[in-house]
Amino acid sequence: MPGRISWEDILPLIVDATLETLYMVGLAALFTVLLGLPAGVVLFISRRAGVLPMPAVNAALGGIINVGRSLPFVVLLIALIPFTRWVVGTTLGSTAAVVPITIGAFPFFARIVENALDDVDRGRIEAVLSMGGTVWHIIGKALLPEALPAIVAGITLTIVMLIGFSSMAGVIGGGGLGDLAIRYGYQRFNNQIMAGTVIVLVLLVQLVQSLGEWAVRSLAYRR
């Protein structure tokens, strides 16, 4: 049958592609949290009624976040090709794909952080202020500890989204399961590889979701 190869040949391809996907998602998740967490905190504290009102900063950062969230990821992949080449020297491969994946995901995570902080009891903030606490004390002693379960749930949701983004990165040769599905499954009409990549992606999402839910329950139990 045309396009059909043995599972012995398919398995190494899927294993390599899975490792590339894990690399992309892991690195992108790290950078997404490093960018999105402080961005979400700044969005929250810089409101007009926030603990450190900075309307101009809030408006500018909010505008950037909204623009990032409004662009379809496939469009963002193509639009960021020159920037990706400038950052890593190439637009192909797993490392290059981390750049647009991170830029596409961190605005989403920043809003999750902002919403999580919004749910923190205002009394906690006022208690820190009454004891002479600074903005840094409010962030470190009240906001982040109280919002941690919600933030971890947001990280879980973001990682699931990153898995989807990493698959779409295959459109521009980003490597991973998405690239394998396009080059072998779609272009060569190989249903075995297409089915294999779908199964692995579903398993990855289920694993991430289960671990995330366990972490949230553990954090909520310790409070």
Question: What integer pLDDT is reported at residue 195 of this predicted model?
Answer: 84
Residue 1 lies in a domain: no
Domain holding 117, by residue range, is: 7-221
Residue 2 lies in a domain: no
Residue 109 lies in a domain: yes
Is pLDDT above 50 for 2?
Answer: no
Can you tell me whether residue 133 is helix, strand or coil? coil
Quickly state the pLDDT bin for 10 (edges 50, 70, 90).
confident
Can you tell me whether residue 71 is helix, strand or coil? coil
Question: What integer pLDDT is reported at residue 187 of this predicted model?
Answer: 67
The pLDDT mean for the chain works out to 86
Q: 14-68, pLDDT tens digit by residue?
A: 888 899 999 999 999 999 999 999 999 999 999 888 788 899 999 999 999 998 8
Residue 152 lies in a domain: yes
Residue 15 lies in a domain: yes
The pTM for the full model equals 0.88
Name the nearest CA neighbour of 205 among 164, 167, 176: 164
Quickly state the pLDDT bin for 186 (edges 50, 70, 90).
low
Phi, psi of 3 (to 5 degrees): 85, 0
* Residues contacting 183, CB < 8 A, separation 6+: 170
Please give the sequence-ordered ranges of beta strands (E in DSSP) within the chain, or none if there are none.
none
Is pLDDT above 90 for 209?
Answer: yes
Query: Do 172 and 81 form a contact (C-beta atoms < 8 A)?
Result: yes
Residue 57 lies in a domain: yes
Q: Which CATH number characterizes residue 99's domain?
A: 1.10.3720.10
Q: For the chain, what's the residue count?
A: 223
Q: How many domains are there within the chain? A: 1
Q: 82-127, pLDDT tens digit by residue?
A: 888 898 887 778 888 899 999 999 999 999 999 999 988 888 888 8
The residue type found at 96 is A
Tokens of 123: 């009394």
Residue 79 lies in a domain: yes
Can you tell me whether residue 66 is helix, strand or coil? helix
* Residues contacting 206, CB < 8 A, separation 6+: none
Residue 179 lies in a domain: yes
Phi, psi of 92 (to 5 degrees): -110, 150
Taking the C-alpha atoms of residue 99 and residue 210, their distance in angstroms, rounded to an integer, is: 27
